[in-house]
Amino acid sequence: MNITYEVLDKQIVLKPEIVTTTNGRDDAEKVDVYQQFVVNGTIVDSDGNLLPGANVLEKGTTNGTQSDFDGNFTLSVNSENAVLTVSYIGYTTKEVAVNGQSDISITLEESATGLSEVVVTALGIKREKKSLGYASQELDADQVSSAREPNLLNGISGKVAGLQITNSPSGLGGSARVSIRGDASLNINGNSPLFIVDGTPISNEIVGSSGSGTQEVDYGNGAAEINPESIESINVLKGPAAAALYGARAANGAIIITTKKGSSKKGQLGITINSGISMENVLLLPDWQNEYGQGNNQQFAFVDGSGSGIADGVDESWGPRLDTGLMIPQFDSPRADGTRGGDYLVSDSPITPTPWDSNPDNTLDFFNTGYTKTNSIAISKSGDLGNIRFSYQNLDQEGIVPNTDLRRNTFNLNTGLNLTDKLTINTNVNYIKSDSDNRPSLSYGTESIMYLFIWYGRQLNTNSLRDYWMPGREGLQQFNYNYNYHDNPFFNVYENTNSQNKDRVYGNISANYEINDNWNLMVRTGRDFYRDLRGRKRAFSTQRFPLGYYREDNVFFEESNTDFLLSYDKTFKEKWNINISAGGNQFRQKQEYTQTVAPQLINPGVYSFNNTRRPLEVSTNNEQKRINSLYGFARFAYDNLLFLDVTGRNDWSSTLPTDNNSYFYPSVTLSAIASDMFKMPEFVSFAKLRAAYAEVGNDTDPYKLSSFFTNETPFGDNPILTESSLIPNADLKPEITSSYEFGADIRLFQSRLNLDATYYNGKTKNQIIPISTDISSGYTSKLINAGEVRNYGFEAMLNVVPVRTENFSWNTMFNYSRNRSEVTDLGGIDYTLTSRNNVFIQAREGGSISALYGRGFQRVEDPNSEYFGQKIVNNSGIPIRTDDLVYQGDYAADYTLGILNSFKYKSLDFGFMFDIRQGGTVVSMTKTIGSTSGQLMETLEGRETGIVAEGVLETSPGVYTPNTINVDVRTYNNRYYERDNVEAAKYDASYTKLREVTLGYSLSQKIIDKLPISKARLSLTGRNLALWTDNPHFDPETVAISGGTLQPGIENMSYPSTRTYTLNLQIDF
């Protein structure tokens, strides 16, 4: 063999010359098999920021590399005329001709279409989006953080088709119900997607905190604690096929979060500083009437607020007409000795009557302007050995409810270490410290402020209640307007507090070893654990706890995931590529909950278990769960035109019987790039067709296979154990969800008009549900496999670029989804998923999984009657209620639509988003109680004349006559809106919200070049600025909360939603 050489970039490269024989002759033809060309390059974005980890591939080969943490790369290509394909997450893939250049600078543009975008998929694997055979949708860092919303879940609402996020009405730091493609599980809490951060699952569970006589307090979701500013991208995997490799917990899809990694100019620190302040105020309060005040039969006079006066113990507003010049003794009227009317325990001096006037803003006057201050810093550095990024964020919130707050300090550390050319170690650690002096109490009951306001007399002056102790009885007796039923609202929020102190750590460490050009091994372990200490203080004279109360809840949660993945990747004959991987996962979860209660206190204001008047009440609950898994997948690609993926996973769950604890589920997806396979019209830029099928198994909660006992409060020195009320089932089988979907991605007119549409259809069977049993058995329910639910729908993302010039661009995105969930088999039973206030979310065969049931009005059922469909009225003139539960509507929307518009002109950017929900039903406790209490605007009808109900009297069987019976207004409203009459309190849940408006200005590069900074941006953001709805009393985007369950379709004394304004400054160095 002859040897030749060539000098390349100061290096001597030795190359063989091979002599071949043709037609039997020695032609001495020289073939240079090492004729390669070395390319050095730097990859940046349109703002000049370096892009580490960008993929660089020589077109038509598997020869490639990645940019380092300075955005630099070096690649030897086959010739100086080679073409490089460069891709990066969130950016449009670009082809660059080498043309003999040894040094190249490559600028990538942010992807408006996702045409050739690289996305993070299951197990943290990066893939080109066009190769995926299932539906997913991505949000980049700007889309995530543009809202400047500290709650991550709220910030992405409306931005992803099929992703439904509904907030609880609980004020700052509250929970949100998250679902993808609607509900498919008969477990109301079993419809949430799995959250993944940098490859490791984290908890998004809501740990309830009610009971022992207190009301619900919402301490928030786990995912809401993630700092949005640390997020690089979010990829929403929308169905079982997309998330099959994650197993049972991803049966409802997965939300893949990738955090920012260290990057800066080599050897230099990169520093980003963010500082923002937000103000929020009330968006919508109930539409109160302001013509009649507290009392009954248009009479009222205060003596002691307990009934000694004229209707002064009544908390309804059927009293005298307001603003007519009446002078009436009231709780804040002065007594002769200078005390107030409500100070009846310390004075019996006569009360001087004062004007009986309306206070239209008395509920609004209670609420404050809320403030959120957010300050953060991120420091990053990179070099040949790796990279590091450290960030810290301080969040300080004051809610609209006085004396409610939330403070959160978030620390994040991301490191990447290149130990050798083949071995890389990555770590991601997050520490979150959250604490609150007081979170508001929720729902129906005297601890809730909104419950109080639904009875709050329209004449009350809120400012008169701010001094909430009776003089001389501070700490012992509150001052109030009514001593029969309610607490002073300021006393409630300043003395009856719900505190929280939470420490959370989550993250992972992974090792990636490149065995050779084809084989790769990844090993990773991650943990998510927290301890949450919650306190409840109730002062003396509280309605529920006249001798005070103190409670502590100690919540501990720990989850670990350890996995490995061995991968083989090889290209054959240039056009065929195969990737085969096998791996495993071990999942462990542990939860501990301890509640200690001092039901009465000895000394007021001393909140200690040593100050208890009665024996302490202690209860505990501990759970552990383990799942072992093995999985594998194979990806086949032909000529970058056809992509076939096959996966399989087997889980072994500790919560299922030994004989049934193993369940296997496969998936298969196919993607075809039709625009490259067939000749298309010129206006078609790209067209892809895809199809997917998957099966996913699921298990149940721990300790459902045999009886167990829980500790209860001891009787004297004797311990007490209570057996579970659930009959165990040792023959449970895993739930199985099977699903298929078809979709198309079409890009037209040079990607100016882009459509991504998907039809999906799934079926979940063998659902694990508890059903009621005869209580004489000693149990209340038993666990069985029953139920089959079909979940299907359509979703589409339409992206339009009406204008795109050198200095100006306009981009519009439409996110549309429509979902249906039908119960196809339930073994002949009706199953209640959850209930509240006589509203039942109930599954019945042939109906919807999201159906609302409750009592309604009896109506004429004879279709031949002229009165068909009219209400039937009794002899007292009141419409008659049904005896049975009847269908009242469905909490699921007919469809949802998000409309996003973004404009950019030079250094200015402007955007706004509408979030639209059409259809669905919500049942309101505010409507029920506000009507019986005489508070709402509609209760003005008939105040002077009485009411004749619409409907008919049944004079004899099947014979009807129009109703003419007049009923006094108080009686009518109390009977018509009885609390078990769901029909009278339901509303259309439709709404349109101006969800987000953003205006930003970035300093131009000319100015930046003169300053010691690399970027500066000032932005003003508005959130929930406007609401259009037929509902006059509350925001229909609401859920009730019961323990750890968010109940859609039910409104239960919800706090007002808020509009928010945020000013933020970001500076990069």
Stated as kind and residue range, the H or E segment containing 74 is strand 72-77
Paired with 119 in beta bridges are: 127
Higher pLDDT, 584 or 572: 584
| The residue to which tokens 């001094």 are assigned | 467
pLDDT tens string 7-50: 444 444 444 443 333 444 344 333 344 457 889 998 988 767 77
CATH 2.60.40.1120 in the chain, residues?
2-114
pLDDT of 264 higher than 60:
no
Q: Are 919 and 895 in contact (CB under 8 A)?
A: yes
pLDDT of 1065 higher than 80:
yes
Average pLDDT rounded to a whole number, residues 976-982: 92
Average pLDDT rounded to a whole number, residues 942-947: 93
- In one letter, which amino acid is 733? K
How does residue 1028 score in pLDDT terms, banded at 50, 70 and 90? very high
**Model confidence, pTM:** 0.85
pLDDT of 6 higher than 70:
no
pLDDT-above-90 percentage for the chain:
62
User: Which candidate, 988, 984, 748, 1026, places its Cα nearest to that of 858?
Assistant: 984
Distance in angstroms (rounded) separating the CA atoms of residues 915 and 993: 5
- In one letter, which amino acid is 360? P
Q: How far is CA 478 from CA 346, 439, 465, 495, in A?
A: 12, 21, 10, 10
Distance in angstroms (rounded) separating the CA atoms of residues 1016 and 1002: 6
Distance in angstroms (rounded) separating the CA atoms of residues 298 and 321: 7
Q: Are 333 and 342 in contact (CB under 8 A)?
A: no
How does residue 298 score in pLDDT terms, banded at 50, 70 and 90? very high
pLDDT of 176 higher than 70:
yes
pLDDT of 5 higher than 60:
no
Distance in angstroms (rounded) separating the CA atoms of residues 800 and 794: 20
pLDDT (0 to 100) of residue 266: 58
Average pLDDT rounded to a whole number, residues 275-289: 95
* 194-262+271-277+370-395+402-447+496-509+517-850+891-920+989-1068 maps to CATH 1.10.1740.10: no
Average pLDDT rounded to a whole number, residues 729-752: 89
Paired with 371 in beta bridges are: 279, 398
Question: Any idea which fold 2-114 has?
Answer: Immunoglobulin-like (2.60.40)
Query: 220 is written with which tokens?
Result: 């928030």
How does residue 62 score in pLDDT terms, banded at 50, 70 and 90? confident
Average pLDDT rounded to a whole number, residues 722-740: 82
pLDDT tens string 586-641: 999 999 999 999 999 999 999 999 999 999 999 888 899 999 999 999 999 998 89
Distance in angstroms (rounded) separating the CA atoms of residues 97 and 88: 18
- In one letter, which amino acid is 349? S
pLDDT tens string 791-833: 999 999 999 999 988 889 999 999 999 999 999 999 888 999 9
DSSP labels, 168-206: -SS-TT--EEEEESS---SSTTS-PPEEEETTEEE----
pLDDT (0 to 100) of residue 35: 56
Q: How many of the other CB atoms lie within 10 Å of CB of 726?
A: 17
**Length of the chain (residues):** 1069
Mean pLDDT, the chain, integer: 89
pLDDT-above-70 percentage for the chain:
94
Average pLDDT rounded to a whole number, residues 663-667: 90
How does residue 890 score in pLDDT terms, banded at 50, 70 and 90? very high
Q: How far is CA 286 from CA 811, 860, 919, 947, in A?
A: 37, 33, 21, 23
pLDDT (0 to 100) of residue 33: 40
pLDDT (0 to 100) of residue 782: 84
Q: Are 649 and 665 in contact (CB under 8 A)?
A: yes
Q: What value, to the nearest 5°, has the Cα angle with vertex 1013 and ends 138 and 431? A: 50
Query: 310 is written with which tokens?
Result: 């004229």
pLDDT (0 to 100) of residue 972: 95
Residues 6+ apart with CB under 8 A from 240: 250, 251, 253, 667, 694, 695, 696, 737, 738, 739, 762
CATH 2.40.170.20 in the chain, residues?
194-262+271-277+370-395+402-447+496-509+517-850+891-920+989-1068
